[in-house]
């Protein structure tokens, strides 16, 4: 039996706070690792997973993590939430295999529904 | 970079020269006296080029400022430091006239130097903050190391990944090469886990559009409001949508698109605006477009427009001869490199793989977590061992075991799994349900080979 999990990688906890009610409602664990290795370790279990990466404070670290998630856990859904608009950053997010790439407005309006739709399918 | 070595006798220079962060020293007249190797390595500017620079630029430099003016502003001591107190500021530094230099934020610490109560200078330690999005100009390229990430990732997807002994896969390789050369919509049809997404990446990487990204959109798992926003709206102004920015767009299961979005997609395919770069459409589906149209889930107009070229990807069970090569490719980058026994390879070739490559990858990862150095038949999941056993003796299915130990173990395994399911993976609660101490449950899990999966503790 596999159990869905929600992983949020960010520095200030805002996205996690936005998703916390959903994780409580569905009974999915919400994890907030601060190291890339911890994220990848959680994905080794092959549980259905959504990884939300906030991109804007340390671009190299955040995008390197996205690359590794795409390569080492291709079954996981990766959602890159970009802090502000930058055309090259959008391109790079797609190039590195992000499943979804959201602006702050799209994250505010759709992130909860997106995560719910993705993890609910696997229940 | 300067090969200058600190002069003998100047111990403070020796101490500072190899510091990890840029270090500067100003004399009491705020003239630059010293910069260390970290600064020189970062900027390519040596001490000789900036020695004597007067660092008294309290106001932000204007657009006509030289790089020397910008550096002087960066190192200008704030009022507290001038009064002999420690100070810390955050400033932005962007040497506009230095090729390739990027805007970056610095945390700068000022340590006033004093000798017998008299100010003699200032020691400045600068720490460059991680590249943040605020430090990028919208029209500016990303730092080279970030761009290299994208380049390294996409170059993994070459046609060599399609190498195969199976004649069907060899045909697919030829079809993929053709698809890369032409700018027409391509439909990839195959069961889940057969590698359609990877094939889409290979086609994109081989095409003329490879310098622009491949974007993907899974229509099954995306709320309708977000589908509309991603496909047809702009991000905060003129940012590219999925139908304007990427070089290729890989749509997964477009039959899940709401009907109105399917209409809009057809309109987009028919009337593409030439002034915008238009992505080539790649489509992945588990079923044929004919079946989706017959079921009323897909518009006929959209069905035939997205399938100008169609590639049928075979399931893994139809290409068992490729399994040894696929195993090598999946575990090839592992360290340590595991040894895989011939019996294990044979068993993996016998199994039917209902979830195809995705399942093969998952099985190999799970086995490697338990036994990193070797993959052998006993380590494989039971369903694969059972299939292997049946294959070895097809006329005589394995009789049910009458060994009491085996039967009790099966019953115990089912009870433990039931408790874990009820407890949603929480082992402490599962132990309570079973009337066991948690440590005993953990020992039984290990003995039964059921210790996979996280302990879902609250």
pLDDT tens-place values along chain A, 123 residues long: 568 999 999 988 999 999 999 999 999 999 999 999 999 999 987 788 999 999 988 888 999 999 999 988 888 999 999 987 777 888 899 999 999 999 888 899 999 999 999 988 654
Residue-level pLDDT at B458 = 42
Q: How confident is the model at residue B218 (pLDDT cuts 50, 70, 90)?
A: very high
For chain B, what percent of residues have pLDDT higher than 70?
Answer: 86
Interface with chain B: mutation pick from A94, A103, A120, A121, highest number of B CBs within 10 Å: A94
Query: Which of A99-103, B323-327, B447-451 is predicted least confidently?
Result: B447-451
- Please compute the mean of the pLDDT values over residues B147-166 and round it to a whole number: 84
- Please compute the mean of the pLDDT values over residues B383-404 and round it to a whole number: 77
- Please compute the mean of the pLDDT values over residues B51-56 and round it to a whole number: 89
Residue-level pLDDT at B431 = 92
Q: How confident is the model at residue B219 (pLDDT cuts 50, 70, 90)?
A: very high
Which residues have C-beta within 8 Å of that of residue B105, sequence separation ≥ 6? B90, B91, B92, B93, B128, B129, B132, B134, B135
User: Does the beta-carbon distance from A92 to B223 stay under 8 Å?
Assistant: no
- Please check the confidence at residue B456 and state whether its pLDDT lies above 60: no
CB interface of B with A, residues 351-410, below 8 Å: 358, 361-362, 365-366, 369
User: Strand locations in B286-376, DSSP E?
Assistant: 309-312, 339-340, 374-375
Give CA–CA dist B432/B426, Å, rounded.
10
A1 contacts chain B (CB < 8 A):
yes
Which residue stretches of B44-166 are H helix? 47-50, 67-74, 79-82, 144-154
A96 contacts chain B (CB < 8 A):
yes
Give how far B116 is from chain A: nearest CA, Å. 43
B224 contacts chain A (CB < 8 A):
no
Residue B71, SS3 per DSSP: helix
Instruction: Give residue-wise pLDDT tens across range A49-76.
Output: 999 999 988 888 999 999 999 988 888 9
User: Does the beta-carbon distance from B246 to A3 stay under 8 Å?
Assistant: no
- Please compute the mean of the pLDDT values over residues B379-400 and round it to a whole number: 80
User: Does the beta-carbon distance from A75 to B358 stay under 8 Å?
Assistant: yes
Give CA–CA dist B389/A58, Å, rounded.
52
- Please check the confidence at residue B10 and state whether its pLDDT lies above 90: no
Closest CA to B246 of B222, B215, B274, B267: B215
Which residues have C-beta within 8 Å of that of residue B317, sequence separation ≥ 6? B352, B353
User: Does the beta-carbon distance from B133 to A89 stay under 8 Å?
Assistant: yes
Tell me the ipTM for this assembly.
0.92
CB interface of A with B, residues 10-49, below 8 Å: 27, 29, 42, 44-47
Query: Which of B225-234, B262-271, B279-288, B349-358 is predicted least confidently?
Result: B225-234
Distances (CA, A) of A108 to A18, A24, A111, B171: 8, 19, 6, 46
- Please check the confidence at residue B90 and state whether its pLDDT lies above 80: yes
Residue-level pLDDT at B100 = 59
- Please compute the mean of the pLDDT values over residues B406-435 and round it to a whole number: 88
Residue B407, SS3 per DSSP: helix
- Please compute the mean of the pLDDT values over residues B382-409 and round it to a whole number: 78
User: Does the beta-carbon distance from B240 to A27 stay under 8 Å?
Assistant: no
Q: How far is CA B452 from the centre of its chain?
A: 25
User: Does the beta-carbon distance from A113 to B226 stay under 8 Å?
Assistant: yes
- Please check the confidence at residue B234 and state whether its pLDDT lies above 60: no
Residue of A nearest to B133 (CA): A56
Chains A, B: CB contacts within 8 A come to 153
Distances (CA, A) of B282 to B156, B213, B327: 19, 13, 27
Residue-level pLDDT at B3 = 46
Mean per-residue pLDDT of chain B: 83
Residue-level pLDDT at B288 = 92
Residue of A nearest to B128 (CA): A58
Residue-level pLDDT at B335 = 66
Q: How confident is the model at residue B391 (pLDDT cuts 50, 70, 90)?
A: confident
Residue listed under structure tokens 């069970």: B317
Give CA–CA dist B301/B267, Å, rounded.
10
pTM of the model: 0.72
Query: Which of A69-78, B30-39, B208-217, B275-284 is predicted least confidently?
Result: B275-284
Q: Helix A87-95 and helix B144-154: axis angle, to 10°? A: 30
Q: How confident is the model at residue B450 (pLDDT cuts 50, 70, 90)?
A: confident
B294 contacts chain A (CB < 8 A):
no
- Please compute the mean of the pLDDT values over residues B184-194 and round it to a whole number: 93
């Amino acid at each position: 039996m596999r159990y869905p999990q929600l992983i949020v990688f960010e520095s200030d906890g805002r996205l996690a706070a936005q998703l916390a009610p959903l994780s409580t409602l569905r009974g999915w664990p919400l994890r907030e690792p601060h190291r890339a290795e911890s994220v990848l370790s959680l994905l080794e279990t092959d549980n259905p997973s959504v990884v939300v990466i906030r991109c804007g404070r340390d671009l190299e670290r955040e995008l390197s993590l996205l690359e590794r998630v795409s390569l080492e856990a291709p079954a996981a859904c990766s959602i890159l939430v970009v802090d502000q608009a930058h055309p090259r950053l959008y391109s790079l997010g797609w190039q590195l295999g992000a499943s979804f790439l959201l602006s702050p407005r799209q994250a505010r309006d759709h992130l909860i529904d997106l995560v719910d739709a993705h993890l609910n399918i696997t229940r | 970079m300067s090969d200058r070595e600190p002069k003998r006798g100047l111990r403070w220079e020796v101490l500072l020269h190899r510091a990890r962060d840029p270090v500067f020293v100003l004399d009491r007249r705020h003239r630059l006296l010293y910069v260390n190797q970290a600064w020189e390595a970062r900027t390519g500017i040596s001490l000789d080029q900036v020695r004597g620079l007067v660092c008294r630029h309290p106001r932000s430099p204007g657009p006509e400022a030289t790089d020397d003016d910008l550096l002087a502003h960066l190192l200008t001591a704030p009022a507290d430091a001038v009064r002999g107190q420690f100070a810390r500021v955050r400033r932005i530094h962007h040497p506009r006239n230095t090729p390739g230099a990027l805007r970056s934020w610095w945390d700068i610490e000022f340590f006033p130097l004093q000798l017998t109560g008299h100010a003699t200078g200032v020691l400045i330690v600068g720490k460059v903050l991680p590249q943040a999005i605020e430090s990028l100009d919208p029209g500016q390229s990303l730092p080279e190391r970030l761009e290299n990430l994208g380049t390294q990732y996409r170059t993994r997807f070459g046609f060599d990944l399609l190498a195969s002994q199976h004649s069907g896969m060899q045909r697919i390789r030829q079809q993929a090469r053709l698809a890369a050369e032409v700018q027409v919509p391509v439909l990839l049809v195959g069961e889940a886990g057969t590698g359609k997404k990877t094939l889409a990446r290979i086609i994109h990487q081989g095409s003329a559009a490879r310098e622009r990204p491949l974007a993907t959109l899974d229509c099954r798992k995306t709320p309708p409001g977000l589908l509309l926003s991603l496909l047809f709206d702009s991000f905060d102004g003129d940012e590219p949508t999925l139908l304007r920015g990427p070089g290729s767009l890989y749509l997964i299961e477009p039959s899940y698109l709401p009907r109105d979005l399917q209409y809009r997609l057809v309109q987009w395919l028919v009337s593409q605006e030439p002034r915008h770069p238009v992505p080539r459409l790649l489509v992945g589906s588990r079923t044929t477009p004919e079946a989706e149209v017959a079921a009323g889930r897909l518009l006929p107009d959209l069905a035939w427009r997205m399938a100008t070229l169609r590639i049928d990807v075979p399931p893994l069970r139809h290409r068992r001869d490729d399994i040894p090569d696929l195993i090598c490719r999946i575990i090839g980058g592992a360290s340590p490199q595991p040894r895989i026994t011939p019996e294990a390879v044979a068993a993996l070739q016998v199994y039917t793989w209902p979830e195809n490559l995705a399942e093969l990858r998952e099985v190999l990862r799970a086995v490697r977590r338990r036994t990193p150095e070797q993959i052998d038949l006993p380590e494989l999941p039971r369903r694969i061992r059972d299939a292997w056993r049946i294959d070895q003796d097809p006329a005589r299915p394995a009789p049910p075991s009458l060994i009491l130990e085996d039967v009790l173990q099966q019953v115990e395994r089912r009870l433990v799994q039931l408790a874990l399911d009820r407890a949603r993976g929480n082992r402490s609660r599962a132990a309570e349900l079973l009337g066991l101490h948690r440590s005993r449950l953990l020992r039984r899990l290990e003995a039964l080979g059921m210790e996979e999966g996280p302990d879902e503790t609250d």
